Amino acid sequence: MLKRLGPYLIVVLFIGVWWMSASGSVIFPTPLQVLTGIAELARQGTLMQHVSASLFRVSIGYGLAVLLAVPVGSVMGWYPGMYRALNPMVQLLRPISPIAWIPLSILWFGVGDLSPIFLIFLSSFFPVVVSTVAGVHLVEQQYIRAGQNFGLSGPALYRQVIFPAALPSIITGMRVALGVAWLVVVAAEMVAINSGLGYLIIDSRNAGTRYDLVVAGMVIIGIIGFGLDVLMRRLETLDEVRWRYGTGQ
């Protein structure tokens, strides 16, 4: 019983501490004021506009990154020559924060959707590449030999043996990449766009007294991020992913 109620109790405790801390503040809003701000945004119709804008950019940038990163990571993991050729560039670019690319993205793509989409693509691409390479490298030789014994080779071997065996690692990288993408879109929208949840936060702050909307934007970002992570975790429960672990946990 306590195990099930534990997460809810933590949330209630957090809200209680927040409420007590904000009660004596002139600027920082209470949970009730934040809920009122969210209701105001919903009533005006701007809440769905900002949420839709952010989700659209994440969907495009993240989707393109996964579509490119999985094949690139697969090639790097399966062919040692390609790994030696591409890995230095991947390791050189991977540590660069996507936020550092904001000035260049604005220079290249201007102030519009393309700039944050580019940043999301960059932030998502490298985690998926690295996890895909690791997944392919860790495929047990017994699976490969079994596939070869059944006459599989080339694309058929990859499709029926290598990719399913590497899928748990790929899913983990996709999950990490989605969390990073959701962080990056908020940062990008604060400086490179005039819509989305990041823009909502910075615009409310610039209004001077609308810190209820600032925190409302933060709460909405957290809720959506949690929901996206839950969706990604459901992928890990698919039979196609769980089979390697030999457990029903």
- Residue 136 falls within a domain, yes or no? yes
Task: Indicate which CATH number applies to the domain containing 83.
Answer: 1.10.3720.10
Residues of the domain holding 139: 47-245
| Domain assignment of residue 147, yes or no | yes
Q: What is the pLDDT at residue 242?
A: 59
User: Over the stretch 86-109, which tens digit does the pLDDT of each residue have?
Assistant: 999 999 999 998 888 988 988 898
Residue 148 falls within a domain, yes or no?
Answer: yes
In a domain, 1, yes or no: no
pLDDT at residue 55, as a whole number: 93
231 lies in some domain:
yes
Domain membership flag for residue 234: yes
> What pLDDT score does 121 carry?
95
Spell out the SS3 assignment of the chain: CHHHHHHHHHHHHHHHHHHHHHHCCCCCCCHHHHHHHHHHHHHHCHHHHHHHHHHHHHHHHHHHHHHHHHHHHHHHHHCHHHHHHHHHHHHHHCCCCHHHHHHHHHHHHCCCCHHHHHHHHHHHHHHHHHHHHHHHHCCCHHHHHHHHHCCCCHHHHHHHHHHHHHHHHHHHHHHHHHHHHHHHHHHHHHHCCCCCHHHHHHHHHHCCCCHHHHHHHHHHHHHHHHHHHHHHHHHCCCHHHHHHHCCCC
Q: Is residue 37 part of a domain?
A: no
pLDDT computed for residue 248 by the predictor: 42
Structural domain includes residue 27: no
Task: Return the pLDDT at 241.
Answer: 62
Count of domains observed in the chain: 1
> pLDDT truncated to tens, each residue of the chain (249 aa)?
656 777 778 888 888 888 888 777 778 888 888 899 899 889 988 889 999 999 999 999 999 999 999 999 999 988 889 999 999 999 999 999 888 898 898 889 887 889 999 999 999 999 999 999 998 888 877 777 777 777 777 777 777 778 888 888 898 899 999 999 998 988 888 876 788 898 898 888 887 778 888 899 999 999 999 998 888 888 777 666 655 554 444
Look at residue 249 in the predicted model and tell me its pLDDT: 41
